[in-house]
Every structure is written in structure tokens, then in C-alpha cells.
Structure 1
Amino acid sequence: MARTKTPKAPPPPPKPVIEEHIDNALSARYMAYALSTITQRALPDVRDGLKPVHRRILYAMRQLKLNPEGAYKKSARIVGDVMGQYHPHGDQSIYDALVKLSQQFATRYPLVEGQGNFGNIDGDSPAAMRYTEAKMTAAGVLLLEGLDEDAVDFKDTYNEEDQEPVVLPAGFPNLLANGAQGIAVGMATSVPPHNVAEICNAALHLIKTPNARIETLVENHIFGPDLPTGGIMVEPRDSILQAYKTGKGGFRVRARWTREDLGRGQYQIIVTEIPYQVQKSRLIEKLADVIESKTASGLADVRDESAEDIRIVLEPKSKNIDPDVLMESLFKLTELESRVSLNMNVLDAHGVPRVMDLREVIQAWLDHRREVLLRRTHQRLGKIALRLEVLDGYMIAFLNLDEVIRIVRYEDKPKDELIRAFNLADRQADAILNMRLRALNKLQEIEIRSESDALRLEQTDLEALVGSDQKQWDMIAGQIRSLRDLYGPKTEEGRRRTTFAEAPDLDIDLATAFIQEEPITVVLSKKGWIRAMKGKLDDLDSLKFKEGDTLAFSVPAKTTDKIILFASNGKAYTLSGDKLPGGRGNGEPIRLMIDLENDHIPVGLFVHDPDRTLLVASSEGYGFRVREADIVASTKGGKQVQTVKGDAETMRVVAATGDRVAVIGENRKLLVFPLDEVSELTRGKGVRLQKYRDGGVSDITTFASADGLSYIDTAGRRQEVADWHLYEGSRAQVGRNAPRGFSRQGLFAPDKRL
């Protein structure tokens, strides 16, 4: 018999092609991703202060009955249950979240109690989840209290095989107590931990005074963050208040330290607490780098002698160094001082992300506690109503016991007959039929009456509670007081760890903070050799130079001063008085210390005065005023102040004092004009000071009209220009011939020269 061929199934119809603009497609999909990140990963719920992964961990631990009084279970078991039932996002992320909930240096009030290696403040990783064990703490149990009493809504899990809570009942103010960190798409959250007793006091005040001002909450109740690692908060009170009023801000936190005497004037500094979220090992490395780079020259050594408690030893280089000054410098250079940010961007009760202020956050928790109270109360009232209905049926049975026995014994359908005979509900009839014979005694009747009376009394109280806002808030206030007693300031866990202080008013220049101040005289020769002679030299003729070299500049200064060298290339170079070569010998070439070209020379050397203004002039007759604070250079290459091109050079730098400028050119033309006609710049070419047909500037000075103008005559003597008003004009004019006897070198008296 021939085999028949089975006809092939027709191919499935092609899927329809959906045409969509790429911008719209990307926008819609990215918005869906952003929303998922915000609500499911990054931002905590304001009511219980938890993200979904933390909420699922606690719920799974409750299902495993990991209560504080019970035994531990392997972390791998907990992570497996969470991942398999509620959170299918990888075991490592779940374990990391579990670990953080148990770390006492990361979480102010741990929700999980760990056993084993859960990491440390040095930044070491915890042991694998198969080696560690965990169970809940009392705070974790408080967050879950009432979960079986219809306190919150539940939703289907990701695979719709089970259900999980949308939010926890939150008998513990977790958001403010433990804080939260998270980064979403386009937004972030950062809430530092706070003290539970202070949160409770603020909540009680808000219950009593719903319109309480944030100023009152901050000044009298919540004084600021209370960090797990302690430390000292040096943020000003007005800044703290502003942060809580806006929901955004930050707090400066410093390490706690003490001075430990070693005898004979020697001492060392002991750091016992470090700022929040600072890894101790990284902090030690940074301190070692500071020593190696000599950034803080007062620190000689650092040692980590920590065991269970932190003990970092800092050794100063000298016993003469003020410990406050040393620590202020280290606060500026290292993470011994850090900034804890505040950004209370959270999901509200409707799942909408927004930034809340302090009062809104506390009020949201109180409103949630009220809703939980009402839901638990309604659930209890429902159970009481059902039980009272059953008890009423029992009482009818006791009062008509013989008839009930007859019906049960002789009727074919005793349940229907009981309902008809005594007007019973279906549930009451079932309860009577399920009674045991031993329950038909007089004592049982008395117990039923007592139970019914007690339930009716409780029902009356609960109905009064539901109908009265005042009773509800009184009940919540009592719960909060119990919580405050559990975590009060007298308990070890509730004691405030972070204290408050004002930062010392020390204006520290790190470059000079640890330099011993001594007088010196800075000497620079014409060939560019520089040295620092000890003390103030009055007899400059005794200075010796290399053959053919002479004195160019001599400046009295101190070892803590900054020395400014102005060169003909228009640049200003900054030298430190303590780093100049000593006075023995001829010193060192200045070009080894700064990057000064061989075809340029120094035109000015002076001690830096940030409050002074200078007048800079080039050889072609351009110049401007510049604040001395703007010319400090931080590198060997100097800072370009005046722009000079071609054959032009910067030739003079003088102090811009008085109200007049006097300029004399190589053509011996003298011009006097008001100082305020010269522009003030930070850098540039400047404005024209004097006009020349040939040549350029010979000298420039400033003076006060009341004091008059002086010059050096051909004999080297100082002379006054009695009729200097004759030389007055406007800036950029040519001027008039200089007085007879004016120096052939064209020099004014050197009073203003630097």
C-alpha cells in the first residue's frame, strides 16, 4: 500500500512591521527604564526608608523566622530565598545589600545581625555568603510589626507565585535613622543617619503641634545627623537649618582627636573616630602621601594602631608645632574632614519622587503609622465581630441545650433545622455542630460569657479609636514613646555618637604654617645669583659677589614671606623665603629656581603684599595697574602679567600709591597725569602712558600731590620739582622737557621703586 504524504503546515503569517521614529522609540523606552530605576532601585520609600531589595530581604528573613531570639541561618539560604521568590536580580547584589544592613560602621541601627566576617571599616570585603550567617535585629522586627494584621497592601511577586508587601508597617523611623544613598536616572538621594530618640522627640512635637516650624524641630529636637562612626560636626547652625528647610545641603564632619603627652614637652595626636563613609586604609595612605610629598611639613609619621576601636597615631616633626594648627592643615589636605551630603529625594506615599524637607519626611512617617494603625484596628474589629457571632451561637446552644441535642440526634439535616429553629447564621450552626461534648458544662458557659464581655469591651474601645483622631494620635504617641525608651540616650545603641563644635578660627597658610619665622635679607645680583642672608643687613657695602658682579636688589623679608620677582618678559615669579639658598658663598643662580629665559632679566624684587596695587610699565610706554593678589604664581614657569611683543620689555614695577603718575622718556620729556587714568587689569598690554617719536620709557613713579615730586640730579642728589604742575597733562601725551639738572639716566627718586 502506498504511503501517503502528510501535507506541510502553511508558514505562519509574517509579523507586522511597526514603523516608529527612532527619537520616539528611544524616548519611550528610556523613560520606562528611568522610571524602573527610580522606583525599583535607587530611591527609598519615605514611609519605611527602604528600597525594594532591602524590603524583600527583611520579608524573606521573617518568613524564615529569623527573629532576634532565634538562631542564625546561612546568608546563602537567605539570599537564595530572596532571589528565588522576590528579587531575581543576581545573588551578589542581594548579598551586598544584606551585608550593608548588618555593618555597624555603615548603618547607624543595623537591621540585620551578622555572624562571621561582614567586612570592616578598612574597606576589606566580607566573606562569601556560604561562610556567614544572619538574623534580624529588634529594629528589623519593628519594621515588620503588624504585617499579618492587614497593615499594608501586598502585590504579586515577579513570577506571580507568591505575594510581597508593597511597603512595610515601619514601626521604626528607618529613613532618617539609617539614612539612604542612591543614584537614579537624572536624580539621586543622600540621607545621612540620625538619632532615633531625637526623631521620636520631633515626631511627638509634630503630633502635638502639626504646624510646627522646621526651626523649632532643628533647634530643640533634631540637632543634626548622628553618624555610625561618630566624629565632630563643624557645620554652622544656620547652614544645618537651611539644609533641613530645603531638603538639600551638606554637613562638614571632622575626625575626633586628642593630644597625648609623651613627657618632656613631646606629644602625639591620637585619632579615635573618623568621618562617615571614609575607609580607614585609604585615609592612612593619604596621610602617608602627605608626609612623602611634604605638603604638610609639620607631620613626621603616621601609624595605625587600631584593634576593635580606631587608633591612628600622628607624630609631629617638632614639639613646638601647635597641634591645632597641624590638625587644621590635615583637615584641609585629607579625609580627616569630609562633607556628608543631604538630598532628601524620596518616593512619597503615591510613588512619586520629590525632594522633601525635614517636617514633610517626619509627617509622612506619622501619616503612614496612622494608616497602619487604622488598618490593624479594622482587621481586629473584623475578627472580634466574627468571634462574637460564634460566641452568640454558643450561648443560644447552652440556653436551649435539650432541643439542640434532640435536633442533632434525630433530624436528618440538623444544620438546616438549627438555623430554622433558632434563627442562626450559617457560621453559628457550624460552630455548634463542631462543639465537643466536654464543652457542654457549666464552666464552659461561664468562660464564653467572660470572653464575650471582654471582646465587646475591646470592640467598644476600638470603635472609639477609629472614630477619634485624637485617640489615634495618642495611640501613635504611646508607640513612639516606647520606641524612644528602647533607643534612648541612656542606652548604648541610642547614645549620640556625633557631637557638635565650631571649627577653630585659624587662617592657615599651608605653605608657611610650619615654617619658623626669622628675619632675612634677600640679595639678588645683576648676574642673577640669589641668596638669603640671616637677619636685616644695614651695611650692604660689605656684601661680596663674584668677580664682575654687583648688587641688583636687596629686600628685607622673613622666612614666612613670599618673594615676588618681576622679569622683563612680563612675568611674575613667586619664591618662598624659607626655600632660598643660605647666605654662605654667592648663593645659587635664580634660573635654577624659575624658568627665566637667558635674554630676560629681573626688573623688580619685593615681598608679596596681597593688599597692594602695582603699576607695571613696558619700554614702549604702555602700562596698567594690577592687584598684587592677582600675580602670585604657583609654578616655576611664573604667571604672565604684562603682554610684551617684539623688542618691547617690561622695564619697571612700582607701588601704585598717591594720586599722580610721573613718566619720563628716553627723550627726557616729563609727563604728569592722574593715577586713576590708568586702567586696572589682571593681565594684558595696558594703556599708553606717554607718547614717543623715538625711544621709550626711562623711568616711572607715583606720588601724592600734597607730597610733591622728586628726582635724582646729575650729581646723584635728591631734588624736589617745585613746579611739577607745569608738567601736568593727560595720559598718552608727549610731555615737556625735564627740569635742568635732571639725572642723565632719567631716574626719579627711588622711594616707590620695588
Structure 2
Amino acid sequence: MTTDFRDPFDSIVNHPFDEALSQRYLVYALSTITARSLPDLRDGLKPVHRRLLWAMRLLRMEPAGAAPDVLIANPARNTTPYKKCARVVGDVIGKYHPHGDQSVYDAMVRLAQDFSLRTPLVDGQGNFGNVDGDNAAAMRYTEARLTQAAADLMAGLDEGTVEFRPTYNGEEEEPEVFPGLFPNLLANGASGIAVGMATSIPPHNVTEIIDAATLLIDEPQAEHARLMEIVRGPDMPTGGVLVDSAAVISEAYATGRGSMRVRAKWHQEDEGRGQWVAVITEIPYQVQKSKLIEQIATLITEKKLPILADVRDESDEAIRIVLEPRARTVEVEVLMDSLFRLTDLETRFPLNMNVLDATRTPRVMGLGEVLREWLKHQIEVVVRRAKHRLDKIAARVELLDGYIIAYLNLDRVIEIIRTEDEPKEVMMAEFSLTDRQAEAILNMRLRSLRKLEEMELRREHAELLKEREELEKLVESPARQRTRLKRDLAELRKRYGPDTPLGRRRTQVEEAAPAREIPLEAMIEREPITVILSQRGWIRAMKGHVDLASADTAKFKEGDGPAFAFHAQTTDKLLLACANGRFYTLGADKLPGGRGFGEPVRLMVDLDGDTEIVALLPARAAGKILLAASDGRGFVAVMDDLIAETRKGKQVVNLKTGARVAVVHVITTEADTVAVIGENRKLLVFPLSELPEMTRGQGVQLQRYRDGGLSDAITFRLSDGLSWAMGGETGRTRTETDLSMWRVARGAAGRMPPTGFPRNNRFS
């Protein structure tokens, strides 16, 4: 005896790594595409779903009220009690689908969720999850059985309508596809991600799908526009409102690719005394209610939606989310438009009708092509069912012919049976019987020899011949096949018609414009305030427009005093200018109240070090300001361009070393002239048009200095003259109308100001 010891390394073959990897990845990719992620066009199922339903069928888990001939005949009862899901999952992973039990159970749970499937295929009992996103109970606790829709999808499996294939271990058989007439692909939709491709098909209304298919039976070349008159769009399990235009929806269905906007359904409820709330009763498909409420609550806590005060979940079996506005003056359309933009109350559902056709080839199809291919499959099912029935009739007619011959020659048949040792061969030779006929005659019971039985056989024989004639015509005539399919669809429509709970359309189709981008002013209740900023940078807002003189006598910390005070509205944005040329933006509605000393402005924006604040003023739409640095350079800026979106502010004035922002002056609409005075007490007047309008930079030279720098600058209307305060407590001002001596070109040195000009070189 010799033993052959082989070195395992002898079987190693050198092969390029990239080529070996690509070959193996291609096998994996094809397996993922054809046997895991993409649904079959004919029954709309992935393999795991098909195997689940098939296993439940074999476990006799018929739907409630199902007729005995719908699934497996069981005359003893008309319904089957629920069975544990663990039993189904065990059968599936043991016989058909060798994957993890949790993934199979998750697939089964989805088939039972009425918020995931438009028409559930599994009737679940127990906790199968909810629209909040909570998981289902463990499979050992939950029970299930099939629904009528699943029965309609599997009807005809015992009638030779589809091919069967061996399971993964060759011990069992499973159908390659389900033959039933229920249009599951479009009725329940599908989603999945394969390798290099994906599918996303929304659920639809069964009645609309049947009506569109009926139209294509009558008019196979019907235009896409005709189909879209029937199929209005997706019909989601959770309802909602489809708000895209008919043209957008039609284009998506024509190509098989696109997306559609779905909004929550809501209404306004009056609570009396001018108070109201907005109530959401339906949410978009595949949006978890708990996460949606969390999104809305986050907007409230982070003050990103000031007009919304509270959100409450008052849902039971029906969804009811209550939105409470900040004030009765809030416009409900503004509130809802803001929520549509900021939360999943409006979502965009993708449409990508990528499916496996009859040859197991992935293809992206439009609505018309999907329906035509599905009808082609159903015609094939009709023909195969007819041929299968013809085979059954032929077998039965063969036996009936033998029985009738036996009755016509009853005495001789009895004599042969009694006298012959091999009666079967004798009868076959004497009466020209087949082996099956002779065997059937020998197996007849004595009670079947009565005269009444002969009459029944002849009646059955005649009926079978008539049925065979009709079926042969059906097999040979495409027109009869279409008529039969149309009649079957009409019967199916009665079960899922618009007057039934399952057939009623849930998603409304109402075209609406995209949600508006609501400005902040519209979200804030407009109220007058008086803004006060102290010399040490403490800011506050007093309610109402109080006398600005009283701002000087307001309470301040010891050693502090007023710096800026002005009237504003809570809807205003405030511009804070610093000596380093940086501008910051404050929301007037976010300022601390007028009681106490306020809060440091540095808590609201990121000021650099000990930067000096040189101005605080409300931003006005299209308003302009004059910006001038201490080195005499400046320009005009539009207030809208100075608004910063972050705490870090926006650099506006680029300064030379040693320079600082000295002037931030609001330009009135009638102003046409600039007056500049330097620390050398030289005054210069020139047209405002000579200054450039910039968003950022150093600007141009306003006045030339030999010593010192710029002291002050203002704008005014030349025809009104130049005015300045006289000083003292009188509050008098002086106006110089003849400015010809000081009117020169921008950038000049200027001349000494008129007699009486303030010694501090300030215009105000």
C-alpha cells in the first residue's frame, strides 16, 4: 500500500493580482445585482422576499378569509391562525436563503409594515415597528400570515405558469418568479443598492396601475401622455402631498429617472381669541416621525426659527403633530414654508426604475415600458396556464374514455376480471385501451358501477371537451388572450378599487411652488426698541422708542457710561464697526433686555483683543455709509455688503500700518457733497461722486496731510450749506452756505475752516 503525499503548493498558479481580483469582483457584482438588490419586473420581488412568501405558502399560512383554492386546498377551514415568525425565518434560511436570520427577519418585517408598503404582503400580529422608527420585537414574539395581496401575487403557482429551480443545496425547489396578477412592482415599489447601480421605485395606487395596463391592452401603442392621465404619480403609504408640476412628474416617468417633492399634509386650527396652531396629519414617505419632531425641536432650541414657539406630538394611531407659533400675528404660510425648507416636512423622493427584465438583465425603464413588459409576462402566464389545463384535461379525458368503454361492455369487463389471470393485458388487447385506462378500470369501486355514475361520466366528458375547445382557441388567439387578461384585471380591480380601504388614494397631487426662503424679518415680531451700548462694551435693548436723552442717565456700571444710543426695531440687523476695519453683525431681537446693565457685546461676536468700537448703527436696505481711515483714505460702502453671517465678522477696511477707522458716517439720500477736516484744522469740500463705491479695500485719498491725519468727515447737500454745532447747552448750530473757498478737488490739502468752527475739529 502506497500513499500519495502531494505538496499543496504544487496547485498554486501564478496569476496577475489585478486580473484575479477583477474576475472575482465581477462575480460578486453580478450576484449582487441579479440575486440580491434589484427587483424582478414580473413580480416586483427580490429573492429574499420571494422566498419568504414561498415558505409561508408551504407552511399553509393562508390569508384571513381566503378561499381554499387560492393557496393550498384545505377544505377543513377557511382561515389559518398566525404562526411564529421565527418558524418562517428558520425555514427560509435553512431551505432557500442561506444568509443571516436577522436580515431575513428585517425583510419580513418590512413586508408587514403598512407605513412601508402601500399594500402589505404579510399580515403581522405583534410589534412590527412603527412610523417613529422603533424596531420590531424579536422574531420569537411576533406572528404572521399572508395577506390577500400575497395570495393574488402567488395565484397560479400550481398550474404550471412559471418555472421552478433547485434551491442552493438541491434538496428543494423554488419558483423563479411569481405568476400572480397583482402588480407588485409598481404597487409597492422597491429600493436597493447594487454594485454600480441602484433602484428606487415609489409605491403607486393599484387601481391606477390596473387602469393603465387595461389601456395598453386595448391600445398597445398608447402615448405616454395618455398613461399619465391615469397614473397621477406615486401613492405613498403615509399619504402626504405631491407638489411637483405635472410636467416634472411626466418627464420622470417617461425616462424612468427623476425625483419628486413630497410634503406633509397640514391644516390650521383656530383656538379662539385669535390664537391658532398648525396641525400635521400626514408626513412624507420614509420619514421617521420621532426624528422629524426632533428636527423641529432643534430649530426651536437653537433659535433658528424664532416664529415657532413649541411642537407637540399628540399622535395615537393617526399622526397629529401640533405646531404652536410664537405670536398670533405670525403668518401660517410663512411658518410652514420655513419648516418645509428646514426640515423633512418636505422631501425629494428619487425615481430610478432600474429592474431585472425577463432575461434577468438590469434595465432602466419608463412607465410605459414597465407596464408593457409586465403585460407580456401576464400573457405568457395565461398561455402557460391554459396549456397546463389542456394537459390535465387530456389526462382526464383519457380516463373518462376508458370508463365509458367499461360501462358499454360492463358484463364482458366483469367476466375478464373474474376469469383471466392477467385481466389488464386482455382488456387492453380486446378494447384497445391504454395502460392508464386499463389500470383505472381495474381500480374502480363496485359502487361506481351504478347507472347514475355512467351519466355523470358522460356529462363530465362533454364539459371537458367543450372546455378543451375554448382553451385551444385561447392558446392560438392573441386577441382572446388579451380579452382574458383584461377580464382578470377587471376582477382584480374590484378587490382594490377606489372605494376600498386599500384602493383609496392617499397621496394628494397638488402643484405648489418651492418653499420660499423667508427673510429673518418675517420670522420676528416687529417691535420698537432703543439700543444702548456703553463705553466698556455692554449692550442692551430697552422696549419702545424712549427719549435718547434719557439713555445718558440710564444705569451703568461704576466707571462706565453711554457710548451709542439709537432707535431700532427687533427685525433690524445692527452693524458694529471696529477701529481695525472689521464689521460685525448683531440681531436686534437677540439683544438682552433693558433691565440691568445688559451683557458684554464680546459674548455675541468674536472681537479681536482690545479693539475699539467706533460705531454701532442699524443696517438699512440699500443704505450707504462713508468709511474713512485716520490716514485720510476712504470710500463709500453699501450696508447690505457689510452684513456678516458669522461671529467672526467681515474685514471691510484694509488699513495701513498705524492707521485706524476714524469715520463711519451714514449717507442720506439727498447728500451730494463730502466735507473733510484734518487734525491740522484744514477743511476740504468736494463732490460725493468722486468717491468710489466698494465692498472692501483702502479706498482713495480724501485729503492730503503733511502732519497728523483725518479728524472728521460728513456728507451733506450742497444747496443746504455746511452746518456744525456751536457747543454749549443751547444746542444751536451754524450754517455756512458759501463754500466756494473750500470746494476743490478730492485729495487737496484744504484751507482753514470758517470762523466759529469747533476747536475739537468735529462737525457734530
**TM tier relative to shorter chain:** 0.7 to 0.9
Q: Does 1:159 align with 2:154?
A: no
2:81 is aligned to: 71
Letter of the 1:492 partner, please give it: P
Does 7-16 or 482-491 show the bigger shift? 7-16
Letter of the 1:580 partner, please give it: L
2:92 pairs with one of 64, 82, 89: 82
Q: Does 1:348 align with 2:349?
A: no
The whole-number CA distance in structure 1 between the counterparts of 2:657 and 2:379 is 82
Does 622-631 or 437-446 show the bigger shift? 622-631
Does 60-69 or 654-663 show the bigger shift? 654-663
The whole-number CA distance in structure 2 between the counterparts of 1:20 and 1:625 is 73
User: Once the 2 structures are TM-superposed, how far is the Cα of residue 672 of structure 1 from its aligned partner?
Assistant: 7.0
1:488 pairs with one of 491, 497, 503: 497
Aligned residues of 1:671 and 1:735 also touching (Cα < 8 A):
no
1:451 is aligned to: 460
1:594 is aligned to: 605
2:142 pairs with one of 127, 132, 136: 132
The whole-number CA distance in structure 1 between the counterparts of 2:496 and 2:603 is 65
Aligned residues of 2:633 and 2:698 also touching (Cα < 8 A):
yes
2:76 is aligned to: none
Q: What RMSD in Å do the two structures reach over aligned CA positions?
A: 4.4
User: Once the 2 structures are TM-superposed, how far is the Cα of residue 144 of structure 1 from its aligned partner?
Assistant: 0.5
The whole-number CA distance in structure 1 between the counterparts of 2:639 and 2:172 is 74
Does 44-53 or 324-333 show the bigger shift? 324-333
Does 54-63 or 190-199 show the bigger shift? 190-199
**Partner SS, residue 281 of structure 2:** strand
Cα distance 1:665–1:319, how it changes in 2: closer, same or farther (>3 A)? closer
**Structure 2 matches for 1:384-395, cutoff 5 A?**
384-395=393-404
Aligned residues of 1:711 and 1:747 also touching (Cα < 8 A):
no
Aligned residues of 1:143 and 1:169 also touching (Cα < 8 A):
yes
**Partner SS, residue 52 of structure 2:** helix
**Partner SS, residue 10 of structure 2:** coil
**Structure 2 matches for 1:12-31, cutoff 5 A?**
14-31=9-26
Aligned residues of 2:676 and 2:714 also touching (Cα < 8 A):
no
1:35 pairs with one of 23, 30, 33: 30
Aligned residues of 2:341 and 2:515 also touching (Cα < 8 A):
no
The whole-number CA distance in structure 2 between the counterparts of 1:467 and 1:274 is 51
User: Once the 2 structures are TM-superposed, how far is the Cα of residue 397 of structure 1 from its aligned partner?
Assistant: 4.7
Q: Deviations over 1:101-139 (max 9, x none)?
A: 112222221111112222233333322222222110100
**Partner SS, residue 15 of structure 1:** helix
Q: Does 1:562 align with 2:557?
A: no
**Structure 2 matches for 1:302-317, cutoff 5 A?**
302-317=311-326
**Partner SS, residue 572 of structure 1:** strand
Aligned residues of 2:685 and 2:742 also touching (Cα < 8 A):
no
User: Once the 2 structures are TM-superposed, how far is the Cα of residue 470 of structure 1 from its aligned partner?
Assistant: 2.5
The whole-number CA distance in structure 2 between the counterparts of 1:83 and 1:40 is 15
User: Once the 2 structures are TM-superposed, how far is the Cα of residue 203 of structure 1 from its aligned partner?
Assistant: 2.0
1:273 pairs with one of 251, 260, 282: 282
Cα distance 1:586–1:10, how it changes in 2: closer, same or farther (>3 A)? closer
1:250 is aligned to: 259
Cα distance 1:518–1:318, how it changes in 2: closer, same or farther (>3 A)? closer
Does 491-500 or 543-552 show the bigger shift? 543-552
**Partner SS, residue 571 of structure 2:** coil
Q: Does 1:100 align with 2:110?
A: yes
**Partner SS, residue 139 of structure 1:** helix
**Structure 2 matches for 1:642-653, cutoff 5 A?**
642-644=653-655, 646-649=657-660
The whole-number CA distance in structure 2 between the counterparts of 1:428 and 1:189 is 55
User: Once the 2 structures are TM-superposed, how far is the Cα of residue 21 of structure 1 from its aligned partner?
Assistant: 2.2
**Structure 2 matches for 1:353-752, cutoff 5 A?**
353-399=362-408, 415=424, 424-436=433-445, 438-440=447-449, 442-501=451-510, 507=516, 509=518, 511-522=520-531, 530-532=539-541, 544=553, 556-581=567-592, 590-597=601-608, 600-602=611-613, 605-609=616-620, 629=640, 631-644=642-655, 646-649=657-660, 685=697, 717=735, 727=745
The whole-number CA distance in structure 2 between the counterparts of 1:37 and 1:718 is 88
User: Once the 2 structures are TM-superposed, how far is the Cα of residue 81 of structure 1 from its aligned partner?
Assistant: 1.0
1:211 is aligned to: 221
Q: Deviations over 1:205-250 (max 9, x none)?
A: 23333333444433x3222322222333434444333333343343
Aligned residues of 1:710 and 1:749 also touching (Cα < 8 A):
no
Q: Deviations over 1:696-749 (max 9, x none)?
A: 888889999xx999877999646587899984xxxxxx8556588699999999
2:51 pairs with one of 47, 53, 56: 56
User: Once the 2 structures are TM-superposed, how far is the Cα of residue 19 of structure 1 from its aligned partner?
Assistant: 1.6
Does 14-23 or 281-290 show the bigger shift? 281-290
**Partner SS, residue 11 of structure 2:** coil
**Partner SS, residue 480 of structure 1:** helix
The whole-number CA distance in structure 1 between the counterparts of 2:512 and 2:761 is 52
Q: Deviations over 1:257-294 (max 9, x none)?
A: 44444444445554433333333333444444444434
The whole-number CA distance in structure 1 between the counterparts of 2:698 and 2:748 is 23
2:68 is aligned to: none
Aligned residues of 2:633 and 2:703 also touching (Cα < 8 A):
no
User: Once the 2 structures are TM-superposed, how far is the Cα of residue 540 of structure 1 from its aligned partner?
Assistant: 6.3
**Structure 2 matches for 1:195-234, cutoff 5 A?**
195-218=205-228, 220-234=229-243
Q: Does 1:114 align with 2:92?
A: no
Does 85-94 or 223-232 show the bigger shift? 223-232
Letter of the 1:364 partner, please give it: E
User: Once the 2 structures are TM-superposed, how far is the Cα of residue 593 of structure 1 from its aligned partner?
Assistant: 3.3
Letter of the 2:59 partner, please give it: L
2:202 is aligned to: 192
The whole-number CA distance in structure 2 between the counterparts of 1:55 and 1:537 is 76
User: Once the 2 structures are TM-superposed, how far is the Cα of residue 31 of structure 1 from its aligned partner?
Assistant: 2.4
Aligned residues of 1:711 and 1:749 also touching (Cα < 8 A):
no
Cα distance 1:268–1:550, how it changes in 2: closer, same or farther (>3 A)? closer
Does 344-353 or 56-65 show the bigger shift? 344-353
Does 515-524 or 688-697 show the bigger shift? 688-697
The whole-number CA distance in structure 1 between the counterparts of 2:703 and 2:189 is 70
**Partner SS, residue 645 of structure 2:** coil
Cα distance 1:287–1:591, how it changes in 2: closer, same or farther (>3 A)? closer
The whole-number CA distance in structure 2 between the counterparts of 1:304 and 1:457 is 65
2:75 is aligned to: none
The whole-number CA distance in structure 1 between the counterparts of 2:256 and 2:672 is 55
Residue-pair matches, total: 733
Aligned residues of 2:683 and 2:742 also touching (Cα < 8 A):
no
Does 225-234 or 734-743 show the bigger shift? 734-743
Cα distance 1:668–1:66, how it changes in 2: closer, same or farther (>3 A)? same
User: Once the 2 structures are TM-superposed, how far is the Cα of residue 619 of structure 1 from its aligned partner?
Assistant: 6.0
Name stretches of at least 5 consecutive residues in structure 1 with no aligned partner: 1-5, 728-733
User: Once the 2 structures are TM-superposed, how far is the Cα of residue 392 of structure 1 from its aligned partner?
Assistant: 3.7
Does 343-352 or 603-612 show the bigger shift? 603-612
Q: Deviations over 1:485-515 (max 9, x none)?
A: 1112211222222334455898564744453
Letter of the 2:19 partner, please give it: N
Cα distance 1:607–1:483, how it changes in 2: closer, same or farther (>3 A)? farther
Aligned residues of 2:281 and 2:318 also touching (Cα < 8 A):
yes
Aligned residues of 1:37 and 1:185 also touching (Cα < 8 A):
yes
Cα distance 1:7–1:137, how it changes in 2: closer, same or farther (>3 A)? closer
The whole-number CA distance in structure 1 between the counterparts of 2:165 and 2:634 is 77
